[in-house]
A and B are shown apart, each in its own frame.
Chain A
Amino acid sequence: MMSSSFNIYRVGISFVMMCIFYKSAVDSLSELSPQKYFSTLQPGKASLAYFCQADSPRTSIFLEELNEAVKPLQDFGISVAKVNCVKEETSRYCGKEKDLMKVYLFRGNILLREFPTDTLFDVNAIIAHVLFALLFNEVKYITTLEDLQNIENSLKGKANIAFSYVRAIGTPEHRAVMEAAFVYGTTYQFVLTTEIALLESIGTEAIENAHFYFFHCKQVLDLTQQCRRTLMEQPLATLNIHRFIKTMEAPLLTEVAEDPQQVSTVHLQLGLPLVFIVSQQATHEADRRTAEWVAWRLLGKAGVLLLLRDSLEVDIPQHANVVFRRAEEGAPVEFLVLHDTELIISRVEGNTHIEEMQEDEDEDMQSPDMDIQDDEVAETVYRHRKTQLPLELTVELTEETFNATVVASDSIVLFYAGWQAVSMAFLQSYIDLAIKLKGTSTLLLTRVNCADWSDLCTKQNVTEFPVVKMYKEGKHPVSYAGMLGTEDLLKFILLNRISCPVNITSVQEAEEYLSGELYKDLVPYSSVSVLGLFSPNMTIAKEDFTKAGNYLRGFVITGIYSEEDVLILSNKYGATLPALLLARHKEGKVESIPFANSRVQDIVQIVTNALLETFPEITVENLPVYLRLQKPLLILFSDGSINPQYTKAILTLVKEKHLDSLTPCWLNLKNTPAGRGILQTYFNALPPLPLIVVVNLHSGGQVFAFPSEQAITEQNLLLWLKKLEAGLESPITILPAQEWKPPLPAYDFLSMMDAAASQHPTRKEPECTKETNMQKNDKQQHEDKSTIRKEPVETLRIKHWNRSNWFKEGDKSFRHDNKEL
């Protein structure tokens, strides 16, 4: 707290003065008679007075708090007094009874508000309430989304909004907001709410005690456009708000052409780092767009500047595209090569370390970028190569111990290769899993490093890495085919605890199974429980179902019921035997699917299809499943959980079969930050959310956006979709067909060899030629090498032969100079 206030010191003196002082000096509460008190009131000046009986106790909790509020309130120009109501000098403000004493707020001698003392329960509440009353005009209190939208609309093009949510009036956060409003209230429209629903409706996730938003409305000229919002990520405290607002005031992007070491902006003074995007004349436009995007992302976290390399006096490394400067005095300027703007963001957020470029190194290298690891998995693994994993939590198996171990106990085995990055990243997840399961599982977690035990892995049919297999009860091992992460693997392990399918023995058990009661702990991992119903004599169908269940193990819970009284169940669920009952636990529904004459594959297919949702939240994990449907995606992008009305609208459309040609889904940016990158690709900048997009991935790559000014309703959507279908809408962008390209070129050794062959025909001792010189020569030779390739090589060889055999005379061998005897 203190250190940051020093940083602030230079900036907002008036504001900070009070911050520093209210803690240090505490003025005591003046005690006055009513008459004396009213005589001190000055026009226009605010004053807070506590009227109490003269014979009341000298101290109380309230008085202590009030005493503490004196100094801070004085800093806001508000005087505080305790007025003793003596008998001879009564005032109407003196209450009738002892315990009905109140506090009054005056401006001049006009009474503004009266407060019961229990409202002002502590110093924060006192200050918050007093300022709230005084700043009645500056701080708008609202309760509905409509209020907010109205204010927003009225201020577009005019002023920015500081919108805050506090859990209750009188909290420390409320005080912080009011103190900020006291300073900035005339510059920005302060809006306050205590309605959590309002906060939800603007898409705030993980709602905490308080939130502070800055709405950038001033630059919005198109009234249909939403104001950009920046959420303050620090806790709601006076200094944080101050710093946050200061950064909002600073220019979004500054262009500079001076030494990054010398540049100074308000960010540095606020203790925030600076990010320079290095630009040059040729790419200025594009760089500026990038920089702007970065600036928006880093708003409130760092200052973003565009550094013009061409007009720069000082030298910066040739390949650096980002310069990073921390706020600390004397911190060195870092020159970075970053290939992804996300890396800049994460760099600022302190999550990623990127290899730094040495300033004067490798200036003349051919293409230094090629040596930079651009595989994020390999990069993180390499960076953490010295981190010791707690490998002892898993049992390392060798050729000698493997068979005995997997026979003796149910085991899960991770086959990996120590040199492979993906293996090592997954090993970390595997260790995390071991930590999670420690002491709770009878399953032995083991691992085999195939770099050491190659033959063992081959014998276990492991020819790629990493592979996870479960060895259980001496049965054929089950291979894990899920995501390479802790969560999915945990699901696999947990679902494998029960046999697949589970044999259900009574109707009651079946009901428990369908309701999710039977495997309560597993239901969160399997959204659907499948129950096969058979009459006892349907042997083949049962067998097929069992095979399918085996196939699906670790993936979904399956059960089988084939007792004599099976008809009770089939009648209840309206099924004809054999049947599949699918219990969807989330929706609490049980549906039945007949599957007479279905073979194993069909059953697997039925179950797999049943897992698809009608309006799923798309995640990176489940995307491929839905892409497989080969339909254009209708995606609702939402910054946070989805508005239930939208869900309803889309589900209605689905029900009415209007969306059959599409895969409707939604994407929560909070869960899937990757969505930001997608939106950026579609719109170039992050558009206001929520937003509906239709993407035709499988043919054409057109992206259509549902007009953001329209409300997302059934009718509007339907109309829009009709227009789409009729070809009346034009795409906002068309995604390029082939982008999945090599990120960087490779060394062209073939050309180098050709060039060397024509350039240095008798290169026998490499020390004759400096390697670097050669490289340069090679480059020059590049153009004409192909035509002269074959011949020189042939003559070369002969020459070479002649030299190496000059001491032998009259040798008949010419071609086979290597063979003899």
Chain B
Amino acid sequence: MSLLAAAGLWGPPGLLLTFALHPALCLRPAPTSGPPHRDYCVLGAGPAGLQMAYFLQRAGRDYAVFERAPRPGSFFTRYPRHRKLISINKRHTGKANAEFNLRHDWNSLLSHDPRLLFRHYSSAYFPDAGDMVRYLDDFADRLGLHVLYNTTIAHVTLNKDRQAWNGHYFLLTDQMGHAHRCSVLLVATGLSVPNQVDFPGSEYTEGYESVSVDPKDFEGQNVLILGRGNSAFETAENILGVTNFIHMLSRSRVRLSWATHYVGDLRAINNGLLDTYQLKSLDGLLESDLTDLAIVKDREGKFRVTLKFFLEEGNQSTDAITLPQDDNDNFAMRVAYDRVIRCLGWNFDFSIFDKSLRLSSGGEFSKKYPLVKASYESKGSRGLFVLGTASHSVDYRKSAGGFIHGFRYTARAVHRLLEHRHHGVAWPSTEHPVSQLTSSIVRRINEASGLYQMFGVLADVVLLKENATAFEYLEELPVQMLAQLETITGRRARHGLFVINMEYGRNFSGPDKDVFFHDRSVGHTEDAWQSNFLHPVIYYYRHLPTEQEVRFRPADWALPRPTAIHHIVEDFLTDWTAPVGHILPLRRFLENCLDTDLRSFYAEPAGKKGNSPEAGCQEKHKAIAGHGLSPIISSLEPGVLLPVCPNTPEAASLLPAGVPENAGARGN
């Protein structure tokens, strides 16, 4: 019954109903065949749940999505309260490349259907939440995702069974008391419980989830807002023009997302209050720990801020309560407020999970999230994965895993892990001769959206084959799982590897950083390691790092110390295709790691025919271009079919040096 208590006042109505029905479930005779079984159960038909459902569907897996509401994306039917999404709907980038365009599309889910791009649903840069609901609805419909609507999973428990994939089944009980048995549980329920801070007088506060959104209700009022996230500022923004003043109180300083590079921090679109505060227009920001505060209601029904400490001094009547200004007559919050609004964010709903699942909350500083490993699997029970916003503990305040434009990729990563774990499908990869190495990397750093959005969390991995004559390219691996790469992907990493990660400069981002300092951009290739803006970083490891090495890596390193590292210099256009500025240093780095020559050559040296420079060059272009190290490019089919394309520099092609062991054979 502790569950009931935890659900408290804020539990959605459906939950109360469920608990009422719970005893009935116990009385129901168990069907002989057991509850209906699914390999995969997804909780929640929000963006993350639908995204996962899409991948499961495409892979032909046995799955179901459970959604308590009648349609997908119910969160967006109510939130954000002021209906404006702060996820960018960038409809034009000037490029046709669909993968690249996803770098600037923060709302779409991944699918093969180009009609299911969010830009077809809204033309607003900051779109309306209603459009998101419509989009998710279409996504589920068009793709024919298997969603059980109006099904509230009220309780999840564990059932040990040796036959099960993970040694246990997950038993889900819905509001009707029907049970569902699942091999793998994918929790995509988001953060649904508004966060509350317990302090004396907290009952006088109104919550973001219910406060009026009509500015008229705030005409001529003094307003105190608790919190300093986007919901707080969004609320303030709405009433800024009608109040006397707004004070905003939070434990820590405001964090501006353009300074932290974290989209969850205060976005410029909501920060009108900062402007009026700094331009002396009576509004203001204050920092204090809410738990030290108390709010008391005075005789006129107005709210006064005091310290909890004073309250504890004795049981006094309201009038007699000591106020800070009694001692300290210039105390900032000495005015009386008409309203106190609480905008303190959201927590994960732990209430439905039975203790046996050992789904615990994250550490002291990410309490609102369930604790998961870098693979998004719960630390407590194998086979339970957390997706979507709820999975943000992995990269909270670092990357985009808590947002659609981030977790659409982490969902894909989880799906790939599962495909390997349960279906023997190795992590998808492409194999190429080493001559394609530079190009493969250049292609990805210039278009891959997963790398770009989930910088520092998902990274590409190049696994070298023996003697580095060929390589496998794996995309978007949870990089903190690097040490377990072989077990989670089914690929071998015995001959060294490269990791391609995107990073901001070490000391560039942060709430107190001046991100517009003079000389902030780095232009010279030799200074690339000092790049500040997001740029590709390539790590080379001779051996796969161990778990120890990953865990105890140097502070502020994204990955363990590599054998060698390369930074591709930041680029104003995020276009890393400059032949000399970007590609050449990258090639040199790869060459030196592999101790080989990766240049391309014409089959014949220039200057054979033609006298005018122009003619000479034309001739040269006509000549045959070869590729890097391996003298072969025809590696598409097995066998020994001619013709082959040599690529060695003209002279070297007859030297043993130019001719690797496999000369003339296939690239492996």
> Closest chain B residue to A621 by CB distance?
B603
Whether B607 and A351, one on each chain, are in contact in the complex, defined by CB atoms closer than 8 angstroms, is yes
Whether B656 and A624, one on each chain, are in contact in the complex, defined by CB atoms closer than 8 angstroms, is no
Which size bracket describes the interface of B in this complex?
35 or more
Interface hub of A353, A552, A633, A764 (most chain B Cβ within 10 A): A764
Whether B579 and A350, one on each chain, are in contact in the complex, defined by CB atoms closer than 8 angstroms, is no
Whether A739 and B657, one on each chain, are in contact in the complex, defined by CB atoms closer than 8 angstroms, is yes
Chain B neighbourhood of A485, CB < 8 A: 603, 622-625
Q: B368 is contacted by which of A346, A428, A484, A821 (Cβ under 8 Å)?
A: A821
Report the bound CA distance from A680 to B652 in whole Å: 11
Whether A742 and B555, one on each chain, are in contact in the complex, defined by CB atoms closer than 8 angstroms, is no
Question: Is the C-beta of A425 less than 8 angstroms from some C-beta in chain B?
Answer: yes
Whether B643 and A483, one on each chain, are in contact in the complex, defined by CB atoms closer than 8 angstroms, is yes
Instruction: Provide the B25-38 mask, 1 if CB < 8 A to any CB of A, else 0.
Output: 00000000000000
Q: A821 is contacted by which of B195, B525, B600, B608 (Cβ under 8 Å)?
A: B195
Chain B neighbourhood of A790, CB < 8 A: 554
Report the bound CA distance from A360 to B633 in whole Å: 43
Question: Is the C-beta of A284 less than 8 angstroms from some C-beta in chain B?
Answer: no
Whether B600 and A377, one on each chain, are in contact in the complex, defined by CB atoms closer than 8 angstroms, is yes
Whether B625 and A623, one on each chain, are in contact in the complex, defined by CB atoms closer than 8 angstroms, is no
Chain B neighbourhood of A376, CB < 8 A: 599-602, 606
> Closest chain B residue to A449 by CB distance?
B96
Whether A763 and B507, one on each chain, are in contact in the complex, defined by CB atoms closer than 8 angstroms, is yes
Whether A346 and B584, one on each chain, are in contact in the complex, defined by CB atoms closer than 8 angstroms, is no
Chain B interface secondary structure, helix, strand, loop or mixed? loop
Report the bound CA distance from A420 to B532 in whole Å: 26
Chain B neighbourhood of A802, CB < 8 A: none
A-facing residues in B580-606 (Cβ within 8 Å): 580, 583-585, 587-589, 591-593, 595-597, 599-606
Question: Is the C-beta of B397 less than 8 angstroms from some C-beta in chain A?
Answer: yes
Question: Is the C-beta of B252 less than 8 angstroms from some C-beta in chain A?
Answer: yes
Question: Is the C-beta of A51 less than 8 angstroms from some C-beta in chain B?
Answer: no
Q: A701-B656, A766-B519 are in contact. Are A742 and B591 (CB under 8 A)?
A: yes
Question: Is the C-beta of B87 less than 8 angstroms from some C-beta in chain A?
Answer: no
Report the bound CA distance from A373 to B588 in whole Å: 11
Chain A neighbourhood of B432, CB < 8 A: 463-464
Chain A neighbourhood of B588, CB < 8 A: 370, 742, 744-747
Question: Is the C-beta of B358 less than 8 angstroms from some C-beta in chain A?
Answer: no
Whether A375 and B640, one on each chain, are in contact in the complex, defined by CB atoms closer than 8 angstroms, is no
> Closest chain A residue to B398 by CB distance?
A818
Q: B597 is contacted by which of A351, A740, A813, A820 (Cβ under 8 Å)?
A: A740
Report the bound CA distance from A741 to B623 in whole Å: 24
Stretch at the interface among B162-170, B488-496, B660-668: B660-668
Number of interface residues of A (CB under 8 A): 124
Chain A neighbourhood of B595, CB < 8 A: 741-742
Q: A737 is contacted by which of B510, B518, B656 (Cβ under 8 Å)?
A: B656
Whether B636 and A479, one on each chain, are in contact in the complex, defined by CB atoms closer than 8 angstroms, is yes
Question: Is the C-beta of B354 less than 8 angstroms from some C-beta in chain A?
Answer: no
Q: B97 is contacted by which of A422, A452, A635 (Cβ under 8 Å)?
A: A452
Whether A680 and B651, one on each chain, are in contact in the complex, defined by CB atoms closer than 8 angstroms, is yes
Chain A neighbourhood of B160, CB < 8 A: none
Stretch at the interface among B65-73, B115-123, B326-334, B436-444: B436-444
Instruction: Provide the B328-351 mask, 1 if CB < 8 A to any CB of A, else 0.
Output: 000000000000000011000000
Report the bound CA distance from A321 to B527 in whole Å: 27
Report the bound CA distance from A752 to B599 in whole Å: 26
Whether B625 and A425, one on each chain, are in contact in the complex, defined by CB atoms closer than 8 angstroms, is yes
Chain A neighbourhood of B396, CB < 8 A: 819
Chain B neighbourhood of A807, CB < 8 A: 253
Whether A455 and B98, one on each chain, are in contact in the complex, defined by CB atoms closer than 8 angstroms, is yes
Whether A350 and B611, one on each chain, are in contact in the complex, defined by CB atoms closer than 8 angstroms, is yes
Q: A623-B654, A740-B596, A740-B652 are in contact. Are A420 and B442 (CB under 8 A)?
A: yes
Whether A373 and B642, one on each chain, are in contact in the complex, defined by CB atoms closer than 8 angstroms, is no
Q: A485-B603, A555-B642, A744-B588 are in contact. Are A623 and B653 (CB under 8 A)?
A: yes
Question: Is the C-beta of A81 less than 8 angstroms from some C-beta in chain B?
Answer: no
Stretch at the interface among A405-413, A500-508, A793-801: A793-801
> Closest chain B residue to A370 by CB distance?
B588
Q: B652 is contacted by which of A365, A450, A739, A753 (Cβ under 8 Å)?
A: A739
Stretch at the interface among B235-243, B359-367, B458-466: B359-367
Question: Is the C-beta of A109 less than 8 angstroms from some C-beta in chain B?
Answer: no
Q: A552-B641, A746-B592, A747-B526 are in contact. Are A739 and B658 (CB under 8 A)?
A: yes
Report the bound CA distance from A627 to B640 in whole Å: 13
- A558 CB to nearest B CB, Å: 13
Whether B613 and A352, one on each chain, are in contact in the complex, defined by CB atoms closer than 8 angstroms, is yes
Interface hub of B253, B365, B595, B611 (most chain A Cβ within 10 A): B365
Q: A345-B607, A736-B657 are in contact. Are A377 and B99 (CB under 8 A)?
A: no
B-facing residues in A398-441 (Cβ within 8 Å): 398-399, 417, 419-422, 425-426, 428-429, 432
Report the bound CA distance from A398 to B625 in whole Å: 26
Whether A678 and B651, one on each chain, are in contact in the complex, defined by CB atoms closer than 8 angstroms, is yes
- A739 CB to nearest B CB, Å: 3
Question: Is the C-beta of A725 less than 8 angstroms from some C-beta in chain B?
Answer: no
Chain A neighbourhood of B627, CB < 8 A: 422
Report the bound CA distance from A365 to B524 in whole Å: 11
For the complex of A and B, the 6 pairs showing the least CB-CB separation, nearest first, are A739-B657, A628-B664, A819-B365, A351-B616, A674-B650, A677-B651
Q: A349-B607, A384-B621, A481-B641 are in contact. Are A821 and B597 (CB under 8 A)?
A: no
Question: Is the C-beta of A486 less than 8 angstroms from some C-beta in chain B?
Answer: yes
- A674 CB to nearest B CB, Å: 3
Report the bound CA distance from A623 to B664 in whole Å: 8
> Closest chain B residue to A816 by CB distance?
B365
Question: Is the C-beta of B310 less than 8 angstroms from some C-beta in chain A?
Answer: no
Question: Is the C-beta of A137 less than 8 angstroms from some C-beta in chain B?
Answer: no
Question: Is the C-beta of A601 less than 8 angstroms from some C-beta in chain B?
Answer: yes
Instruction: Provide the A337-379 mask, 1 if CB < 8 A to any CB of B, else 0.
Output: 0000010011001111100000000000110001101111110
Whether B664 and A627, one on each chain, are in contact in the complex, defined by CB atoms closer than 8 angstroms, is yes
Q: A624-B632, A819-B397 are in contact. Are A455 and B517 (CB under 8 A)?
A: no
